[in-house]
Amino acid sequence: STLPDSVLVSPLSAVPAGMAGASFTHEEFYPSTSATALRTGVPVAEEDYARRAHALGVAGMVTYGLRSAVSVPMTSAGSFTGVLYAADAQPLRFGESEIAFLQQLANVLSSAMSQSASKQKVLFQARHDALTGLPNRGVLRTAIETSLAAALPAGGETGLLLLDLDGFKDVNDSLGHAAGDLVLEQVAMRLSAAAGKGSLVARLGGDEFAVCFGARTSAAQLEAAADRLTGALLTPFDVAGLGVPLSASIGLVVAPDHGSDASTLLRHADVAMYRAKAQRTGWAMYDEQVDHARAVRLTSISELRQAIRDGDLELHYQPIVTLSDGRCAEVEALVRWRHATRGLIYPGDFVPLAEQTGLIGELTAWVIERAVSDLEGWRGHGRPLRCAVNLSVDALTHRSIARDLVDRVIEHRDIITVEITESALADARATRTLRELAAAGVSCAIDDFGTGYSSLAALKSLPVSTLKIDREFVRDLVSSSQDLAIIRSVVQLAAALSLAVIAEGVETLATGERLAEMGIELAQGFYYARPMPAADVGAWLAAHDSSRPADRR
């Protein structure tokens, strides 16, 4: 038999709560098959709406051209999960065999729906604290890393704080654990409300909480947040009508001043929090002198200067591929520091230091020169390869540094392209430098697009040629409809402004395929290739870019 004209699935969450198994007052006016099916737990068919046209609501069905219908309850593990409703333009359309077929369909849908719901529940539980529903330590770490990645390369600041309740043990001891739990739930709610937009409140366990702030959070903003949070706890907590007063001690850290990775920042925030507790000051900002951190940092500045001069830096390259044929369109140069005792150090751990100390000019000049000479070596592989170099905003704003770098980039504009972060678009000196580069024919990409605050006006008037979508939006693309929507709108924006799009951080085939479907041409990520030493690039090109020799002129 053919399928009915229309089928509607309503999960129980879309039906008013308590409907399953209950009777409904409106049923007297509107004998809805779905309501009856949910109440009785068996399929309910309507032979012909036209014969009941006097009943409220049913006349509408006829107007819509529907004559017969059936509602089949959906159950999973003995409880209702929804109802499947099918309707048809013909009267008497649903006999025993049709109903049996729809019941099977309902069973399949129901188990699929409950599977996906329980999967989401497991995912949620793995990432959240059961008592307060707040994100846990793992989520906090990811949030810190995201904020750092957005703030530090652009020369910005971000921060976090650790909060520990004072005297919470007394509440537990004197009023019992149930009372303690009630207090913790209220603390969680008040902190979430007071933390402010763009921040993440997590529970680390016991009476310890943490708040991670977004990129562009200054020390002053962090202190203001600490005041707000302390203020939010001033009102006594309600435990069965009893007002329980509690205070907290807070430790603050600002990145990159107090560390540029999650572990260091959390450790330093802990130190500051204990000082706040000991001195009863409410909150305390991490103080480098307390932890002798200043001394450690000073040695690494001179070490870094020495490393640049001695050639202890290394340049690794990551291919950017054309999605349609998998060929290498360009490579991106990513700097590393080969440290004598600490091993290979990644840019997140020393580029911010170079930016703060003005060493970024020397570092970037070294990167450009090294890339140019490496590219010479790969010319033998066919068409000349182009290489993207990351330019810090700091490098673009310091007049003397910018002058030197601009000259170097322009000299090699046929093989060197540049990547800058969105924050450069907001800086007048940086945009002036970019205009100069573009006027000379240098291709410029906006890096980590989507994590900063670029105004559309800036994009429209700026001579950039490419948007690199940040890997934050690409990572969960296959499962996140939100990320999908964001990428879609970036693609539309790019098309309207005639810009190319590169998706960063592609780690799976499925992600690459989805990006290609959306019309994105270029991608970069571990799935295609990890950043590799210069010595490996030739072999990679030979193995993955087999159509290249045909290109040779």
Can residue 367 be called a binding residue for ligand C2E (CB under 6 A)? yes
Q: What are phi and psi of 533, to 5 degrees?
A: -60, 155
**Which among Ca ion, ligand C2E, none contacts residue 505 (Cβ within 5 to 8 A by kind)?**
ligand C2E
Nearest to 470 by CA among 149, 162, 223: 149
Write the CB contacts of 126 (distance below 8 Å, at least 6 apart in sequence): 138
**Which among Ca ion, ligand C2E, none contacts residue 351 (Cβ within 5 to 8 A by kind)?**
ligand C2E
Nearest to 228 by CA among 254, 204, 201: 201
Can residue 330 be called a binding residue for Ca ion (CB under 5 A)? no
Query: CA-CA distance, 550 to 262, in Å (whole number)?
Result: 48
Can residue 448 be called a binding residue for Ca ion (CB under 5 A)? yes
How long a stretch of residues is the chain? Answer: 553
Nearest to 237 by CA among 181, 280, 277: 181
Can you tell me whether residue 345 is helix, strand or coil?
A: strand
**Which among ligand C2E, Ca ion, none contacts residue 416 (Cβ within 5 to 8 A by kind)?**
none
Cα distances (angstroms) measured from residue 24 to each of 29, 37, 55, 82, 193: 10, 12, 16, 16, 39
> In b/e form, how buried is each residue of 2-35, taking b as 16+ CB within 10 angstroms?
eebbeeebbebeebeeebbeeebeeeeeebbbbb
- Our CB check for Ca ion shows the closer of 164 and 504 to be 504
Q: Are strands 237-239 and 247-255 parallel, antiparallel or unpaired?
A: unpaired
Can residue 447 be called a binding residue for Ca ion (CB under 5 A)? yes
Q: Which residue has the tokens 């709560």?
A: 17
- Our CB check for ligand C2E shows the closer of 376 and 476 to be 476
Can residue 417 be called a binding residue for ligand C2E (CB under 6 A)? no
Least distance from ligand C2E to the Cβ atom of residue 427, Å: 15
Can residue 433 be called a binding residue for ligand C2E (CB under 6 A)? no
Residue 478 in contact with residue 515, Cβ under 8 Å? Answer: no
Least distance from ligand C2E to the Cβ atom of residue 388, Å: 8
**Which among Ca ion, ligand C2E, none contacts residue 46 (Cβ within 5 to 8 A by kind)?**
none
Query: CA-CA distance, 106 to 80, in Å (whole number)?
Result: 11
> SS3 sequence, 176-245?
CHHHHHHHHHHHHHHHHHHHCCCCEEEEEECCEEEEECCCCCCHHHHHHHHHHHHHHCCCCEEECCEEEC
Determine the interface stretch with ligand C2E among 35-43, 70-78, 499-507, 540-548 (rule: CB under 6 A): 499-507
Q: Are strands 200-205 and 208-212 parallel, antiparallel or unpaired?
A: antiparallel
Residue from 81, 390, 423, 443 in contact with ligand C2E (CB under 6 A)? 390
Residue from 155, 180, 256, 505 in contact with ligand C2E (CB under 6 A)? 505
Residue from 64, 124, 453, 526 in contact with ligand C2E (CB under 6 A)? 526
Nearest to 267 by CA among 372, 188, 351, 162: 162
Q: Hey, which residues does 86 pair with through a beta bridge?
A: 7, 70
Can residue 466 be called a binding residue for ligand C2E (CB under 6 A)? no
Least distance from Ca ion to the Cβ atom of residue 373, Å: 20
Q: Is 147 exposed, middle or buried (0-12, 13-18, 19+ CB in 10 A)?
A: buried
Can residue 390 be called a binding residue for Ca ion (CB under 5 A)? yes
Determine the interface stretch with ligand C2E among 49-57, 205-213, 252-260, 328-336 (rule: CB under 6 A): 328-336
- Which residues, numbered 110-139, are part of the site for ligand C2E (CB under 6 A)? none
Least distance from ligand C2E to the Cβ atom of residue 522, Å: 13
**Which among Ca ion, ligand C2E, none contacts residue 261 (Cβ within 5 to 8 A by kind)?**
none
Write the CB contacts of 215 (distance below 8 Å, at least 6 apart in sequence): 147, 150, 151, 154, 156, 158, 451, 452
Residue from 158, 217, 392, 451 in contact with ligand C2E (CB under 6 A)? 392
Can residue 524 be called a binding residue for Ca ion (CB under 5 A)? no
Can residue 335 be called a binding residue for ligand C2E (CB under 6 A)? yes
Binding mask 397-426 for Ca ion (x = CB under 5 A): ----------------------x-------
Least distance from Ca ion to the Cβ atom of residue 357, Å: 21
Can residue 525 be called a binding residue for ligand C2E (CB under 6 A)? yes
Can residue 347 be called a binding residue for ligand C2E (CB under 6 A)? yes
Least distance from Ca ion to the Cβ atom of residue 327, Å: 20
**Which among ligand C2E, Ca ion, none contacts residue 531 (Cβ within 5 to 8 A by kind)?**
ligand C2E
> In b/e form, how buried is each residue of 454-469, taking b as 16+ CB within 10 angstroms?
beeebbeebebebbbb
- Our CB check for ligand C2E shows the closer of 34 and 260 to be 260
Q: Which residues bind Ca ion (CB under 5 A)?
A: 390, 419, 447-448, 504
Q: Which residues bind ligand C2E (CB under 6 A)?
A: 153, 318, 333-335, 346-348, 351, 364, 367, 390, 392, 419, 447-448, 471, 505-507, 524-526, 531
